Amino acid sequence: MGRVAELAGVSVRTLHHYDDIGLVRPSARTAAGYRAYSADDVQRLREVLAYRRLGFGLREIAELVGDPAADAVAHLRRLRGLLLERRDRVDATVAAIDRELAARGRGLRVTPEQQLEMLGARLYDVIGGAYTATRRTDPRIATRIWDALGDARTVVNVGAGTGSYEPVGRDVTAVEPSAVMRGQRPAGSARCVAAAAESLPFADGSFDAAMAVSTVHHWKDPLAGLREMRRVARRVVVLTFDTDEPGWQDRFWLTRDYLPEFADVLDGFPSLAGMADAIGARTEPVPVPWDCADGLFEAYWRRPEAYLREPVRRAMSVWTRVGPHAERRAVRHLGDDLASGRWAARNGDLTALASADLGLRLLIA
Ligand SMILES: C[S@@+](CC[C@H](N)C(=O)[O-])C[C@H]1O[C@@H](n2cnc3c(N)ncnc32)[C@H](O)[C@@H]1O
């Protein structure tokens, strides 16, 4: 054990701990009858230590190395992908630091999003802890997604988060890059792979269908991610957002009257037509029910007081992206207008509607 510890660069205590919790058990015996590491044990130890170095928790590692479908080559591929991603993030951090230095040099203000970028942090590793307070499957939106999946038996859910909208009764594999989000998946939910949409660790045509819900606008390269979905699955179902229509910002009173900065958040996001084109999809509107159970940005269009509540806002990435200044202003103005009756005077007609088309679209290919 001492020799293995020395070679692996860990303490004997660590090896004992891994043995105690059943993560890496020395299964061979020395001539003198002592327990020793076989070649397979060493390979497993190497995988455990590599995942550990990448920041995975022991429970997650146990799941990863215990996966009977993953052999040594699959682990090497996955580790390689994770390391390349880490290298990209370091490069991106250096670039972000350079940009911030240049901006500060010119006396410009640095937005919170730029500051997060500098940390090299994934947005959902920073804000994901607040997600489950209000984000869950809305049954009506789910029906639309599940109908679009057709008779698919194997489904990959990309940008899966905490598992909302994952269909039951099908064989689901989740893909989620944020450790914070993966850590909040309920016990017994679908197996979850740490990866990003832009580089899915699956062979061509591995699944009957690929789905992605409320996530494409977070991807570094949405079109590349969509093409990856197309590559690994015969059917693709994506819930996303339409910014093609001129004046789309005015569809929703919150962006129109209180948070025009929302448009900047989606700056550079591909057009709906472009995304549909990339995968050969048709598009269908998905109205938001007035009592939508999933606390997404548009969910409370008929319940405006909800936006005054901090936990509601913290589960919507938009507010972090626009920054505290815009957030405080929007909330103050909305609060004032609700108290004065101005909001009701402008939007009173909404109370008669059971659902509203606020730009959510299903892409089906
Ligand atoms: C708003 S959540 C949606 C989660 C889930 N699909 C749902 O409907 O609740 C967006 C998710 O996209 C993930 N994400 C961000 N960048 C990603 C990428 N490049 N590839 C895949 N997922 C990504 C985030 O970590 C986050 O969990």
Pocket lining: 200 vs ligand 1, CB cutoff 6 Å: no
Specify the DSSP class assigned to residue 358.
Answer: -
Task: Say yes or no: CB of residue 197 within 6 Å of ligand 1.
Answer: yes
Residue of 125, 218, 298 with the most ligand 1 atoms within 8 Å of its CB, for mutation: 218
pLDDT tens figures, 188-244: 899 999 899 999 999 999 999 999 999 999 998 999 999 999 999 999 999 999 999
Ligand 1 close to Cβ of residue 295 (< 6 A): no
Distance separating alpha carbons of residues 75 and 257, to the nearest angstrom: 50
Rounded to the nearest angstrom, the distance between the alpha carbon of 352 and the centre of ligand 1 is: 33
CA distances from 231 to 197, 205, 226, 234, 240 (A): 11, 6, 9, 8, 19
Give residue 18's pLDDT band: very low, low, confident or very high (50, 70, 90).
very high
Instruction: Walk across the sheet containing 191-193 and list its strands.
Output: 191-193, 171-175, 154-158, 207-213, 233-241, 360-364, 282-285
Query: What sign does the dihedral 320-362-170-65 (CA atoms) show?
Result: negative
In the reported structure, the alpha carbon of residue 222 is separated from the centroid of ligand 1 by a whole-number distance in angstroms of 12
> Is the pLDDT score of 64 beyond 90?
no
Provide the mean pLDDT of the chain: 91
pLDDT of amino acid 112: 65
For residue 313, how far is the Cα from the chain centroid?
Answer: 17
Average pLDDT over residues 321-334: 93
Mutate to test the pocket of ligand 1, among 215, 223, 228, 241 (most ligand atoms within 8 A of CB): 215
| pLDDT classification of 77: cutoffs 50, 70, 90 | confident
